[in-house]
Amino acid sequence: MYPVPLSVIILAAGKGKRMLSEIPKVLHNVRGVPMIFSVIKNALELEPEKLIVVLGYKSTEIKKAISNRQDLKDLDFAYQKKQLGTGHAISVALPNLEEISGDVIVLSGDVPLLSSKTLKKLLKRHRKGNYFATMLTTVLKDPTGYGRVLRGQEKKNKILGIVEQKDALPEELQISEVNTGTYVFRIEFLRKYLPKLRKNNAQNEFYLTDVFKMAISDKMHIGSVLIENAKEAMGVNTLEDLKKLEVS
């Protein structure tokens, strides 16, 4: 156990329309294992005090699949009845952390190859830098569909924010560094900023990434870790994505 309390929230509420399947997206197999199982097992290697899985679409089916596994125990579940964005998903999970302080890692249930080694590196950077929030980024040859990481011109390492694909300007779409959807936050940071989220965007959703914009505006200390193996951080949105992850 880390000296500072650690919790984990795994987002697994999405329907996955582009999978063109009745099977919940996170229950599709990658390398013979349902995606959500791989994500949970890697998270458990961090020995969190609490691990919360946020469910929505076909929640009963996913919960049953997880509960049938003897090696995936001591989990909490939260329910996102309406798909109102990643910020809203974290909001429905936070009550499970009411009496807990410390840090929380946020993972996506459809990013199955992200290793516990990378997560430990992210957590170490977050704590060593004394950051309020830290994001995992990578560089893609084709960043289509991913949120772009905005950095300052003068101080290249200074993060200015994250812009989602549908909200990006033409010049911002040329950026190859992307947000992987994996973060570490101080829990009190989320309690402060999540209630301030608004749906002023193209998708009419509460973006979790907007907390970075607010933190930067308030001159709070935030950080990032660049993962060189982009495939490890690749999410699954289509059957074609599944095939790509099957190839070593």
Q: Is 198 a catalytic residue?
A: no
Q: Work out how many domains the chain is built from and give that number.
A: 1
Residue 25: inside a domain, yes or no?
yes
For residue 155, what are its two tokens?
């101080």
Residue 79: inside a domain, yes or no?
yes
At 79, is the pLDDT very low, low, confident or very high (cuts 50, 70, 90)? very high
| Average pLDDT of the segment spanning 62-90 | 91
Residue 82: inside a domain, yes or no?
yes
| Average pLDDT of the segment spanning 28-53 | 94
Beta pairing partners, 53: 10, 77
> Do residues 192 and 145 make contact, with C-beta atoms less than 8 angstroms apart?
no
| Average pLDDT of the segment spanning 144-151 | 91
Residue 142: inside a domain, yes or no?
yes
| Average pLDDT of the segment spanning 214-234 | 92
Query: Which one of the listed residues 18, 31, 148, 191 is annotated catalytic?
Result: 18
Mean pLDDT, the chain, rounded, equals: 91
For residue 240, what are its two tokens?
């074609």
pLDDT at 116: 95
> Do residues 109 and 35 make contact, with C-beta atoms less than 8 angstroms apart?
yes
In terms of residue numbers, what domain contains 207?
A: 6-246
Residue 156: inside a domain, yes or no?
yes
pLDDT at 247 over 50: yes
Handedness of CA 108, 1, 117, 211 (dihedral sign): positive
At 248, is the pLDDT very low, low, confident or very high (cuts 50, 70, 90)? low
Coil vs helix vs strand at 225: strand
pLDDT at 84: 92
pLDDT at 144 over 70: yes
Helix segments in the chain, DSSP class H: 35-44, 59-67, 86-93, 116-128, 187-193, 210-217, 239-246
- Cα–Cα distance, 29 to 27 (Å, whole number): 6
pLDDT at 135 over 60: yes
* pLDDT one-digit tens code per residue, 183-207: 999 999 999 999 999 998 888 999 9
pLDDT at 145: 86
Task: Compute φ and ψ for 233, nearest 5 degrees.
Answer: -100, 10
Q: What is the CATH number of the domain that holds 44?
A: 3.90.550.10
pLDDT at 156: 59
Residue 234: inside a domain, yes or no?
yes
pLDDT at 2 over 50: no
What percent of the chain is predicted at pLDDT more than 70?
A: 97
- Cα–Cα distance, 153 to 110 (Å, whole number): 33
Residue 65: inside a domain, yes or no?
yes
What percent of the chain is predicted at pLDDT more than 90?
A: 73
Residue 1: inside a domain, yes or no?
no
CB atoms within 10 A of CB 86: 24
* pLDDT one-digit tens code per residue, 23-35: 899 999 999 999 9
pLDDT at 218: 95
